[in-house]
Chain A
Amino acid sequence: MAPQRRGTAASRGKRATPVLLTPASTKSGGNSFDLRITDRFGNPAQGSEVVVEPAMPQMGHALAPITAAALEPGHYQVGADLFMAGQWEITVSFDTERVVIPLLLT
């Protein structure tokens, strides 16, 4: 299956920060996310630590947060073991922003 592209924009106050999360797989098991974060002008986000917090609300279960590795400014990669099929919630946090991205694994 071709990787799905999932994007969402976080807005808090005046800022709007698009986050584009591309999972390597939509199956349960080992996975990795490609993250592209830009500021409201479309420039790559600078500097801050990006942390991915996977959780499965239906199962009442959260995984330990994982710090994403920066490949280049605004482009991050992170691996996660999402061991169960179902509806996950991937929270991407950086600076003071927290963006929640739903991800359905089969």
Chain B
Amino acid sequence: MKQRVAILLLVLGALLGFAAPVLADAAQAGGDVHIGQTLGDRDLTVIIRRVAEVPGPVHVDVVTHAGSPPGEITLTARAAGAPSSAAKVVLGAVPGFHSGVVHVDRPGPWELAIDEATIPFVVPAIVPSPWENATYGGFIAAGVLLLVALLFAVSGKPVLALVPTAGMVAAAAVAVTAALLAPSIPPVAAPGTQLDPTYDNIMNPYQRTSIVDFSRPPVNLVPRMEGKDLVLSLTDGSTGRPVDDLLVHDSAFIHLVVVSPSGNLRHLHPVRTAPGEYRARLRDPEQGTHAIAAEIARRGGGVQLLRSSVDVSGAASVVPNDGKADVATEIREAGRPSTITARFGERNLQPWLGMLGHMIVVGPVTDGPVSAPIWAHVHSMIPPTPGMPDQPDESVAAYGPDVPFTYSFPLPGRYLVWIQVERDYSIVTVPAVVDVPGAKEVSAK
């Protein structure tokens, strides 16, 4: 009898050991989403914070920038078949963070409406993966079978105990195999970034599809002016249908750069007002043909640059970009990397669109920016902080003072360059002109 009790204790110990948590990869709940929005006369950054539990609150931060008029905006979270949840956010005259909380009651594709702008976002479901189930299920089955075997053994039927023992070995083998192989199983296509998000594929994200190439056709851009607003119509290059699958990349759906005939630059983030329709207000525009370029990323991968031009009726002259910085250039011949460093004096720059600085390059200009063959958008990166997977938001004003850019100008000639950074919630745009020599001019020196 003593011996039997000892065996029982031994087995119970083993069982408790199995009950220790098995480390398996859980479905990653998404991170914060930062989206720049040019909404009416305001330049906002909307931050949709990570959704911790469903049903539960969604914290939304609305960051205003300098020159943004005070007022009230309404945040509305809505999804098909779900009650919508609204919150009013009062935007003060002082630029900075303004918070609102809306509620979501289910995982799935949701839309956050900010007045007339709509931002689609995904509330992920926390679904255990099949291999996680196999690991946990295998160990639990092994434990139960062990108990059964034990009962047979204690009740004097050692031969019958062999059957559940064999089952236990098999169950443990399944669990160990699943746990060991789980890290090498390729991830499934994520709804929202590779697949169009639907209620079904968010609730069952481990269903495999037969699609291997997720890339999508190019996009046609047709701009038009509607009053003060520049309206962009995006259609699919293969079907002609509206393009409504833009991803947030570099913290915006569309990075729209508008260059006026006199070389004045605006970097706008049009808001989505309907499927395939985006709009941004051009404040105090200049008369003439403006060159525009839109950077977008479609679901399934790849960034596209769409260039076009639009005729704008406005004033004969406008206030030029007036940012001040000490711009040091080291220009090499065409095709070799040149460096342009803007020195802003103080270490108080804020990240704008996830980057320390942006440089827009248009050229070589002969008869205006509309016909310039090269159009580039160069970044100055914020070095990643180890252990901080989320990007710092605009409340961190501790970067700079030097903002370096490296770019290989592909053609010789005169380029228009604008460097943009954020300081005191205000976008500083520093214009510059760069002359790039050809390869022969240098070797002749």
Could you tell me the distance in whole angstroms from the C-beta of B341 to the nearest C-beta in chain A?
A: 8
Q: Which of B15-23, B214-222, B403-411 contacts A (4 or more CB under 8 A)?
A: B403-411
Instruction: Indicate if the CB atoms of A62 and B406 lie closer than 8 Å.
Output: yes
Indicate whether A63 reaches chain B with its CB closer than 8 angstroms. Answer: yes
Instruction: Indicate if the CB atoms of B337 and A62 lie closer than 8 Å.
Output: yes
Once bound together, how far apart are the Cα atoms of A7 and B112, in whole Å?
53
Instruction: Indicate if the CB atoms of B339 and A65 lie closer than 8 Å.
Output: yes
Indicate whether A3 reaches chain B with its CB closer than 8 angstroms. Answer: no
Q: Which of B369-395 contact A (CB under 8 A)?
A: 379, 381, 383-384
Indicate whether A64 reaches chain B with its CB closer than 8 angstroms. Answer: yes
Instruction: Indicate if the CB atoms of B379 and A64 lie closer than 8 Å.
Output: no
Instruction: Indicate if the CB atoms of B384 and A83 lie closer than 8 Å.
Output: yes
Instruction: Indicate if the CB atoms of A64 and B383 lie closer than 8 Å.
Output: no
Question: Binding site of B, secondary structure by majority: helix, strand, loop or mixed?
Answer: strand
Q: A62-B408, A64-B404 are in contact. Are A84 and B337 (CB under 8 A)?
A: no
Size category, A interface: 10 to 19
Indicate whether B336 reaches chain A with its CB closer than 8 angstroms. Answer: yes
Instruction: Indicate if the CB atoms of B336 and A60 lie closer than 8 Å.
Output: no
Instruction: Indicate if the CB atoms of A65 and B383 lie closer than 8 Å.
Output: no
Chain B residue, CB-CB nearest to A53: B337
| Residue among B339, B379, B406, B407 with max Cβ neighbours from chain A (10 Å) | B406
Indicate whether A32 reaches chain B with its CB closer than 8 angstroms. Answer: no
Indicate whether A5 reaches chain B with its CB closer than 8 angstroms. Answer: no
Once bound together, how far apart are the Cα atoms of A62 and B407, in whole Å?
7
Chain A residues lying within 8 Å of B404, measured Cβ to Cβ, are 64
Chain B residue, CB-CB nearest to A83: B383
Once bound together, how far apart are the Cα atoms of A55 and B336, in whole Å?
12
Could you tell me the distance in whole angstroms from the C-beta of B86 to the nearest C-beta in chain A?
A: 38
Instruction: Indicate if the CB atoms of B379 and A60 lie closer than 8 Å.
Output: yes
Indicate whether A61 reaches chain B with its CB closer than 8 angstroms. Answer: yes
Could you tell me the distance in whole angstroms from the C-beta of B203 to the nearest C-beta in chain A?
A: 32
Chain B residues lying within 8 Å of A55, measured Cβ to Cβ, are 337, 406
Chain A residue, CB-CB nearest to B339: A64
Once bound together, how far apart are the Cα atoms of A84 and B408, in whole Å?
21
Once bound together, how far apart are the Cα atoms of A98 and B332, in whole Å?
15
Contact with A along B324-362 (1 / 0, CB 8 A): 000000101000110100000000000000000000000
Chain A residues lying within 8 Å of B384, measured Cβ to Cβ, are 83-84
Once bound together, how far apart are the Cα atoms of A63 and B332, in whole Å?
14
Q: Which of A84-103 contact B (CB under 8 A)?
A: 84, 93
Once bound together, how far apart are the Cα atoms of A61 and B384, in whole Å?
14
Instruction: Indicate if the CB atoms of B379 and A63 lie closer than 8 Å.
Output: no
- Option from A61, A64, A65, A93 in Cβ contact (under 8 Å) with B381: A61
Chain A residue, CB-CB nearest to B383: A83
Chain B residue, CB-CB nearest to A84: B384
Instruction: Indicate if the CB atoms of B406 and A64 lie closer than 8 Å.
Output: yes
Instruction: Indicate if the CB atoms of A65 and B379 lie closer than 8 Å.
Output: no
Could you tell me the distance in whole angstroms from the C-beta of B301 to the nearest C-beta in chain A?
A: 12
Once bound together, how far apart are the Cα atoms of A64 and B332, in whole Å?
11
Chain B residues lying within 8 Å of A53, measured Cβ to Cβ, are 336-337
Shortest Cβ-Cβ A-B pairs, 5 listed: A62-B406, A64-B339, A83-B383, A64-B406, A65-B337
26 A-B interface contacts by CB (under 8 A): A53-B336, A53-B337, A55-B337, A59-B381, A60-B379, A61-B379, A61-B381, A62-B337, A62-B406, A62-B407, A62-B408, A63-B406, A64-B330, A64-B337, A64-B339, A64-B404, A64-B406, A65-B332, A65-B337, A65-B339, A65-B406, A83-B383, A83-B384, A84-B381, A84-B383, A93-B336
Residues on A lying within 8 angstroms of B by beta carbon are: 53, 55, 59-65, 83-84, 93
